[in-house]
Amino acid sequence: MRSNPADYELIAPGSVQAIVSLLAKEPGVWLPIAGGTDVMVQYAAGKLSARKLVSIWNLPELRSIEVTAGEICIGAGCTYTDLSGNEVIEREFPLLHSAARCTGGVANQNRGTIGGNIVNASPAADSLPALLAYDAELALVSVRGERRLPYEGFHTGYKKTLLAPDELVQALCLPRRFSEYFSYSRKVGARNAQAIAKLCIAALGLVGGGVVEDVRIAMGSVAPVPLRLIETERTVRGKAIDSDLLLLARTSAAAEIRPIDDIRSTARYRSVVAGNLVVEFLNRLSSDQRGARVGVKDVLADWNRLAVDQAISVIQPCCGSRVWAKAMVTGRPFADEAALLAASDQVWRNLARSDWMEAFRSHPRIGESRARSAESEAPAVTSPDQSVEWSAQEQRGVEDAAAAVKRALMEANREYERRFDRIFIVCATGKSAPEILEILRRRLNNDAETELHEGAEQQRQITQIRLKKWLQG
């Protein structure tokens, strides 16, 4: 039996604050709806029990993707199309990028949101195992304020979560510490696309010295909730990958999952295939480590041994300031990525303003392909080819912008340069052209001192991101 539209009420308050106020006033009465890809299926089948719906679709507060040195925070209202088109997600979080690309068809990807996928709480959802593997945290908001909690444990049972009746999922945040890991994902379904998974896997692994240093395995459609295979990870961690370990891992995975018979598959099939996928992942992890993959430690070790001038030349594109690069070289050797990033922050904050300005001049204007000096239209001499390439990657969100937005950016850039006598600096990675334009217009209201320090903070973030890119080879 189909639903009768007259039985339902849909409102759109237009802001997160107004929505959480409504949820607080009548907790459990209003059902937030974003893209509606799950809700409308229930509605069409006459099974949508909620009668009052509140739209959270396309709210700016829920559609941003914020990238900092330590994490990426993805607004709960971001669609799968948003995720699959983001350069940072594609490069650093391939499991989530892959899940976004295989969720439904193009129409569903344009409407379905990551927050909706989380709250809908289907154990068969494609993206949720990736969030478990990446140690995601959820940012929840209500009239009582904001709180963060680990995504692992958020699902308490089939279609049940820790979300309070007056709360919204505002964002999910992923730590940026898995770039060295080998990643593996598979979705097993009746078809390669537009099919609900019989089961799916998202896994990360790191091998060093011939043994598994770390491994993270998550699965969907094998339990009432998306499942992290903690016991299987413990079985594998610290051991060499050989036939004995593969047998142990297969047995452990089969024992750890809790599959059922349903319309898509059987518990026996899921148990067998789950073991097969874990074994395939470990075999590929082992093969990957036998290849010529260059790791962070290898890049650092090679750089630590370079002559001073060569070492300065190699690292300077990460920042643009030669004084910064000299200080970093003086601080060698660095044992790992964390030590390098911490040293960079300390050096940057202690630099003179003239050194900050040199770093600023190594960047192109937003929307341009070459770095230019603030004093002239000539390309800046401190912009090596690597810096130019990185700038193009960072400004990818501007390339496909509408002509009107590009014109507005150009005009705002000129106004900024007239006001502050230098180009506008922003950490553009993961930001769209309209987002950058909004930031630029806001910062035009800063006084000179405030704006200098805001620009310096943006440069610090850019440097951190570029150092990580450099370490990835």
Check which CATH number belongs to the domain holding 229 and give it.
Answer: 3.30.390.50
* CA angle 70–174–359, rounded 5-degree value: 30
Determine the pLDDT at residue 195.
Answer: 63
Determine the pLDDT at residue 191.
Answer: 54
The residue among 123, 142, 176 that closes a domain is 176
Look at residue 60 and tell me whether its pLDDT is greater than 80.
yes
Q: What proportion of the chain, given as a percentage, has pLDDT over 70?
A: 91
For the residues 198-226, what does the mean pLDDT come to?
Answer: 92
Kindly state whether residues 458 and 359 are assigned to the same domain.
Answer: yes
433 confidence band (pLDDT: 50, 70, 90) = confident
- Identify which has the larger pLDDT, 419 or 291: 419
For the residues 280-285, what does the mean pLDDT come to?
Answer: 93
Determine the pLDDT at residue 31.
Answer: 92
468 confidence band (pLDDT: 50, 70, 90) = confident
Look at residue 36 and tell me whether its pLDDT is greater than 90.
no
Kindly state whether residues 172 and 186 are assigned to the same domain.
Answer: no
Look at residue 379 and tell me whether its pLDDT is greater than 50.
no
Look at residue 376 and tell me whether its pLDDT is greater than 60.
no
Kindly state whether residues 55 and 170 are assigned to the same domain.
Answer: yes
Lowest mean pLDDT among 46-55, 173-182, 388-397: 388-397
Phi, psi of 51 (to 5 degrees): -105, -15
Considering only CA atoms, which of 473, 302, 382, 340 is closest in space to residue 69? 340
Look at residue 290 and tell me whether its pLDDT is greater than 80.
no
Kindly state whether residues 387 and 410 are assigned to the same domain.
Answer: yes
The residue among 250, 272, 290 that closes a domain is 290
Residue 207, domain extent: 182-290
Kindly state whether residues 263 and 309 are assigned to the same domain.
Answer: no
Kindly state whether residues 80 and 4 are assigned to the same domain.
Answer: yes
Determine the pLDDT at residue 385.
Answer: 63
- CATH number for the domain that contains residue 397: 1.10.3330.10
Calpha distance 455→461 (Å, rounded): 10
Give tens-digit pLDDT for 63-105: 999 999 889 999 999 999 999 999 999 999 999 999 998 887 8
Which amino acid would we find at residue 342? A
Calpha distance 349→342 (Å, rounded): 11
Calpha distance 201→281 (Å, rounded): 9
Look at residue 371 and tell me whether its pLDDT is greater than 50.
no
Kindly state whether residues 321 and 237 are assigned to the same domain.
Answer: no
Determine the pLDDT at residue 471.
Answer: 86
Determine the pLDDT at residue 3.
Answer: 81
Domain count, the chain: 3
Determine the pLDDT at residue 194.
Answer: 59
- Identify which has the larger pLDDT, 238 or 49: 238
Look at residue 415 and tell me whether its pLDDT is greater than 70.
yes
Kindly state whether residues 1 and 97 are assigned to the same domain.
Answer: yes
The residue among 176, 211, 236 that closes a domain is 176
Phi, psi of 391 (to 5 degrees): -60, -40
Kindly state whether residues 171 and 191 are assigned to the same domain.
Answer: no
Lowest mean pLDDT among 50-54, 240-244, 365-369: 365-369
Look at residue 373 and tell me whether its pLDDT is greater than 60.
no
Kindly state whether residues 350 and 420 are assigned to the same domain.
Answer: yes
Determine the pLDDT at residue 193.
Answer: 56
For the residues 315-323, what does the mean pLDDT come to?
Answer: 94
Model-wide pTM > 0.85 = no
Considering only CA atoms, which of 220, 5, 194, 204 is closest in space to residue 105? 194
Cα separation values, 443 from 73, 134, 217, Å: 22, 34, 43
Kindly state whether residues 9 and 147 are assigned to the same domain.
Answer: yes
For the residues 175-197, what does the mean pLDDT come to?
Answer: 80
Look at residue 353 and tell me whether its pLDDT is greater than 90.
yes
Kindly state whether residues 307 and 455 are assigned to the same domain.
Answer: yes
Lowest mean pLDDT among 56-70, 202-216, 290-304: 290-304
Determine the pLDDT at residue 400.
Answer: 64
With a CB cutoff of 8 Å and minimum separation 6, the contacts of 23 are: 30, 32, 54, 142, 165, 166, 167, 168
Q: Tokens 């029990």 belong to which residue?
A: 49
